[in-house]
Amino acid sequence: MADKPIIFVLNGPNLNLLGTREPEIYGTDTLDDIAGHLDDRARAAGASIDFRQSNHEGHLVDWLQEAQAVGARAVLLNAAGYTHTSVAILDAIKAINVPVFEVHLSDPHKREAFRHLSYVSMGAKAVFAGHGAKSYELALDAALQF
Average pLDDT of the chain, as a whole number: 92
- In terms of CATH architecture, what is 6-145? 3-Layer(aba) Sandwich (3.40)
Determine the pLDDT at residue 19.
82
Q: Which residues contact 105 (CB under 8 A, 6 or more apart)?
A: 18, 25, 26, 27, 78, 129, 131, 132, 133, 135
26 among known catalytic residues = yes
Does the predicted TM-score (pTM) go above 0.85?
Answer: yes
- The enclosing H or E element of 10 equals strand 6-11
Q: Which residues contact 85 (CB under 8 A, 6 or more apart)?
A: 119
Q: What is the pLDDT of residues 107-142, one digit of tens each?
A: 767 676 766 779 999 999 999 999 999 999 999 999
Sign of the C-alpha dihedral computed for residues 29, 98, 42 and 58 taken in this order: negative
pLDDT confidence tier of residue 1, bands split at 50, 70 and 90: very low
Sign of the C-alpha dihedral computed for residues 39, 52, 123 and 2 taken in this order: negative
Q: What is the pLDDT of residues 51-80, one digit of tens each?
A: 999 999 999 999 999 999 999 999 999 999
Determine the pLDDT at residue 18.
85
Q: What is the pLDDT of residues 86-107, one digit of tens each?
A: 999 999 999 999 999 999 997 7
Mean pLDDT, residues 5-19: 95
Distances (CA, A) of 124 to 19, 72, 91, 116, 144: 26, 15, 11, 15, 15
Catalytic-role residue among 82, 104, 119, 136? 104
**Domains of the chain, residue spans:** 6-145
CA distance 48 to 73: 10
Alpha helices in the chain (DSSP H): 23-26, 31-44, 57-69, 87-95, 134-145
Catalytic-role residue among 26, 82, 119, 136? 26
136 among known catalytic residues = no
Q: What is the pLDDT of residues 20-37, one digit of tens each?
A: 776 676 667 899 999 999
